[in-house]
Amino acid sequence: MIEKSVQGYLPYERPTTWKLVFYAIQQVIVMFPATVTVALITGFHVSTTIFASGLATLC
């Protein structure tokens, strides 16, 4: 019988610090261009859009 290896984290587990840093950088790399692109397409100020995105994240 072949055992399958499943990688993931349960809600009470926490990844290592280096993995958390990697995931954070990955999130910024994915989020930033999308936010800037939408701001440029709609004609909004990029700085205002990024500020509003950060504010929405905190709320």
Q: What is the DSSP letter of 2?
A: P
pLDDT surpassing 80 at residue 2: no
Distance, CA of 24 to CA of 31 (rounded, Å): 10
Could you tell me the two tokens for 40? Answer: 């440029």
Task: Report the pLDDT averaged over residues 21-37.
Answer: 92
Distance, CA of 53 to CA of 46 (rounded, Å): 11
Tell me what percent of the residues of the chain surpass a pLDDT of 90: 53
* Alpha carbon distances (Å) from 31 to 2, 24, 38: 38, 10, 11
Looking at per-residue pLDDT, the higher value among 17 and 6 belongs to 17
For 1-59, where are the alpha helices, taking DSSP H only?
17-42, 46-58
Q: What is the pLDDT of residue 1?
A: 64
For the chain, the structural domain boundaries read 32-59
Task: Report the pLDDT averaged over residues 25-33.
Answer: 91
Looking at per-residue pLDDT, the higher value among 2 and 36 belongs to 36
